[in-house]
């Protein structure tokens, strides 16, 4: 499988998702894949077994899931031959209760030896309705984060507060 390009891997992944073929989905990833979710670091993981668990849950809950690539681009590191495949994705389906299940976002996939061996995941559920841009910006700039869960963006350490320094 080493002769597959990043474009081939991305096309095979989308085809596997649309066919609801869990084995084919997992086969697009290396056994030691590293998945990073920068906006939700606790969701990051290593290993294709977690890919299998994640996609197994999704396919089990969204039986009519469809994936669409809205835009893509590929760059190649000429020194290493590694390809980076950027995919803007749309996922649509219905949950078991009939409610829409929609995700939108971007994945940045690093492909080596014909498989995704690292990715950064920037997908989010589509928010129905919403209160508009002013309220959204106000919420994200004023929302309280518990001190124990907050981490300094530079050091990665929890901030020292009166509560945590005891």
- Cβ 76 vs Cβ 56: under 8 Å: no
Q: What's the N-to-C CA distance of the chain in angstroms?
A: 55
pTM, to two decimals: 0.81
Q: How far apart are CA 38 and CA 32, in angstroms?
A: 19
Which residue spans of the chain are classified as CATH 3.10.450.50? 6-128
Q: What top-level class would CATH report for the domain 6-128?
A: alpha beta
> Which pLDDT score is estimated for 103?
97
pLDDT digits (tens, 9 = 90+) for 110-138: 999 999 999 999 999 998 887 888 888 88
pLDDT digits (tens, 9 = 90+) for 68-104: 999 999 999 888 888 999 999 999 999 999 999 999 9
């Amino acid at each position: 499988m080493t002769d597959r390009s990043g474009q081939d891997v991305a096309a095979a992944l989308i085809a596997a998702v649309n066919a609801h073929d869990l084995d084919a989905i997992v086969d697009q990833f290396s056994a030691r894949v590293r998945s990073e979710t920068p906006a939700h670091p606790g969701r990051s993981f290593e290993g294709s077994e977690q890919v299998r668990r994640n996609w197994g849950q999704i396919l089990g809950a969204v039986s009519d899931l469809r994936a669409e690539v809205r835009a893509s681009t590929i760059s190649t590191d000429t020194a290493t031959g590694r390809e980076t495949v950027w995919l803007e994705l749309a996922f649509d389906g219905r949950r078991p209760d009939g409610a829409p299940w929609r995700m939108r976002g971007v994945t940045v996939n690093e492909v080596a030896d014909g498989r995704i061996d690292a990715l950064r995941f920037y997908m989010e559920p589509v928010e129905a309705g919403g209160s508009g841009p002013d309220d959204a910006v106000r919420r994200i700039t004023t929302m309280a984060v518990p001190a124990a869960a907050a981490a300094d963006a530079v050091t990665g350490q929890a901030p020292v507060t009166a509560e945590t320094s005891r």
